[in-house]
Amino acid sequence: MLNNINLHHLLCIDIETVPAFEHFSELSPVMQELYNKKTERLREEGSSDEDHYFNTAGIWAEFGKIICISVGIFSKDKTTGALSFRIKSFSGDDEKKVLQDFLDMAVKYFASYQQLLFAGHNIKEFDIPYICRRALINWIPLPAVIDFSGKKPYEVTMIDTMQYWKFGDYKNFTSLKLLATLLGIESPKDDIEGKDVGGVYWKEKNLPRIVNYCQKDVVTVAQLILRYKELPLLKAEEVVIVS
């Protein structure tokens, strides 16, 4: 698989999202009504507005926000030829700055590497659309490198590890944790999982813990791509965090 994909043309990404506010009551009355209407089919019987909002708002770009975007690239040592994977994260409470810094980086990389592709797990249906929607909400113009609206399938520069696992099955959803476990890759969920991110952010105020979790997901995406290509997995010392 992915035999025609050059590792050095990939920009692996993962995002972490949380409810835009800590409490449901902080939404305007209109937004409260719109939230309940949009999510009524997902609501568990007996759950309060507060619990329902806090547990699910982060998955909706209209009611959540991005607090971390981690990016990873494959790099080869010019002297030894050794492969490494370099990760940089954009994080903070100011979502507009997080988005702007990430998009500025993406534009810069795409200008230097014309064949660059975004890579991630379920990025076609979650990460990339979420980034685009939040950018528009924050009055950030969408650069051409990430604006895939109206493009033909062959014009969409994305490698989605979940889509490749589907093998044409449109009904299948496989989590990153399950796929990593099946293919013998160390699980990234050794501390927290996606459902815990809102609590770690709003209750614990522990953004670094979330950044660490996000970076592990990016590493797992890189490992999946290597596994698909039947190449050796990255060793711990080959993963470099760039501050």
pLDDT over 70 for what percent of the chain? 97
Least confident of 4-18, 148-162, 219-233: 148-162
Average pLDDT over residues 128-146: 95
DSSP letter for each residue of 22-36 = SSGGGS-HHHHHHHH
C-alpha distances (whole Å) from 4 to each of 125, 159, 235 are 23, 12, 24
Q: What is the pLDDT of residue 44?
A: 79
Average pLDDT over residues 3-7: 88
β-strands 83-91, 64-76 pairing: antiparallel
pLDDT at 152 over 90: no
Structural domain includes residue 34:
no
Least confident of 4-8, 33-37, 86-90, 207-211: 4-8
C-alpha distances (whole Å) from 179 to each of 8, 92, 127, 174, 239 are 23, 29, 18, 6, 20
pLDDT at 171 over 80: no
Q: Could you give the 3-state DSSP secondary structure of residue 197?
A: helix
Q: What is the pLDDT of residue 188?
A: 60
Q: What is the pLDDT of residue 63?
A: 97
First to last CA, the chain: 33
What range does the domain containing 75 cover?
7-20+63-242
Q: Let me know: does 119 contact 73? Beta carbons within 8 Å.
A: no
Structural domain includes residue 209:
yes
Other CB atoms within a 10 A radius of the CB of residue 116 amount to 19
Structural domain includes residue 41:
no
Q: What is the pLDDT of residue 82?
A: 86
Structural domain includes residue 43:
no
Structural domain includes residue 35:
no
Structural domain includes residue 101:
yes
Q: What is the pLDDT of residue 189?
A: 62
Average pLDDT over residues 54-67: 96
Of the pLDDT bands very low, low, confident and very high (cuts 50, 70, 90), residue 43 is: confident
**pLDDT of 194-204, one tens digit each?**
889 999 999 99
* Number of structural domains in the chain: 1
**pLDDT of 9-38, one tens digit each?**
999 999 999 999 999 999 999 999 999 999
Handedness of CA 71, 191, 232, 167 (dihedral sign): negative
pLDDT over 90 for what percent of the chain? 68
Structural domain includes residue 179:
yes
Q: What angle do CA 28, 29, 31 make, to 5 degrees?
A: 65
More confident call, 15 vs 5: 15
Average pLDDT over residues 133-146: 94
pLDDT at 228 over 80: yes
Structural domain includes residue 211:
yes
Q: What is the pLDDT of residue 33?
A: 96
pLDDT at 66 over 90: yes
Q: What is the pLDDT of residue 68?
A: 98
What is the CATH number for 92?
3.30.420.10
Mean pLDDT of the chain: 91
H helical segments located in 91-185:
95-112, 128-137, 161-166, 176-182
More confident call, 100 vs 186: 100
